[in-house]
Amino acid sequence: MNAQTRRAYAEFLPEPYRSDPIAEPVSEWWEWRGRRVHMLRAAVPDAPVRLLAIHGAGGHSGLLWPAVTLGLRENVDATAVDLPLYGRTVEPDPAGVRYGEWVDLLCDLVHTQAAADERPIVLFGASMGGMLAYEIAARTGAVAHVVATCLLDPADPHSLPVLTRWNLPGRSGPRLLRWIDPVCGRLRVPIRWITHMDKMSLDPDLSRLCAADPLGGGARIPLGFLRSFVDYRHAPPQEFTAAPVTLVHPAADQWTPPELSIRFLERIPARRETVLLDNCGHFPVEEPGVAQLAAALRAILAEASGSGR
């Protein structure tokens, strides 16, 4: 992931939030179950809190890094990971990747980080990464706060028509995917054929950049991955008490309507908050929503660090 790729995405942010030397990351690699997992890191050993950023479908660490930097004016140690199929992570069997492996990888990463470093960890999940962050917090019990731009639960029958271009019916769609999985599950197709990459942003140029990016929206995923996601049963929200959850949902999102995420969030008994990012599309780059996202991230990181600043 070179600096040029990150800067291409950062150019869509308002001027005050573009490239900042203090937020320039370096690449790190982590061996996990035969995979070479790539991460971007801005290591700050003296920082009181850590941030782990999780991308969604069609994303990668470089795409997400400009959003990560919104919180880095605080004293934060930050990481963004490339999940298998995306970014620079080396995956030996791309056709065999399933959603549950993403969950396992992230749980192991959080456990590894928590065992090596007792500083609190805040998870920031974008798009599909929001449900991943929620699930990892539930499974590990090692997360101080979950921040999510979206909480699209595949168990909600209204989510599948939103998720895909195919307008799969909410209840019979999963049955269809289970039927084709044994025959075509390893067939890899461009993610933009499946999802609404054209609705990634309110800015058509940014949507086109995402869709054409070979590390993200230009990548191919196996049909079995989609089946594994829609069949996955996340921790029941009514039982979730692992960490506070803040939903920072773009208010003008044309891909995943805020009400679906809010409906899920309101079933969580743990401390929760909703921050609607005014004027922002699915990939939030518009004001005043970017300023609202930056303020929310900084307040959460400050609270997690124990400083209360």
Q: Render 79-105 in DSSP notation, one character per residue.
A: EEE--TTSTT-B-S-GGG--HHHHHHH
- Give the residue numbers spanning the domain of 64: 3-156+236-305
The predicted structure's pLDDT at residue 166? 64
| CA distances for 40 relative to 13, 24, 70, angstroms | 19, 9, 15
| CA distances for 147 relative to 69, 72, 276, angstroms | 15, 15, 13
CA distance 204 to 47: 37
Per the structure, how many domains does the chain have? Answer: 1
For CA atoms 226, 187, 212, 8, the dihedral sign is positive
- What is the dihedral angle through the alpha carbons of 255, 40, 53, 243, rounded to the nearest 10 degrees? 170
Residue 280 lies in a domain: yes
- In tens digits, the chain (309 residues) has pLDDT values of 567 888 899 999 998 887 565 568 999 999 999 999 999 999 999 999 999 999 999 999 999 999 998 888 778 999 999 999 999 999 999 999 999 999 999 999 999 999 999 999 999 999 999 999 999 999 999 999 999 999 999 988 888 778 776 665 445 566 677 778 888 999 999 998 888 889 999 999 999 999 999 999 999 999 999 989 988 999 999 999 999 999 999 999 999 999 999 999 999 999 999 999 999 999 999 999 999 999 999 999 999 998 443
Residue 75 lies in a domain: yes
Residue 278 lies in a domain: yes
The predicted structure's pLDDT at residue 167? 60
Residue 243 lies in a domain: yes
Residue 197 lies in a domain: no
CA distance 197 to 175: 24
Residue 266 lies in a domain: yes
Angle at 22 between CA 146 and CA 247, to 5 degrees: 20
Alpha helix segments (H runs only) across the chain? 3-10, 61-68, 99-116, 128-140, 159-163, 172-184, 191-194, 204-212, 223-231, 258-265, 289-305
Here the CATH number for the domain that contains residue 28 is 3.40.50.1820
Q: What pTM value is reported for the model?
A: 0.94
For CA atoms 216, 66, 41, 19, the dihedral sign is positive
| CA distances for 291 relative to 129, 229, 251, angstroms | 21, 32, 14
Residue 213 lies in a domain: no
Q: Which residues pair with 246 in a beta bridge?
A: 147, 273
Residue 104 lies in a domain: yes
The predicted structure's pLDDT at residue 168? 56
Tokens of 4: 């040029």
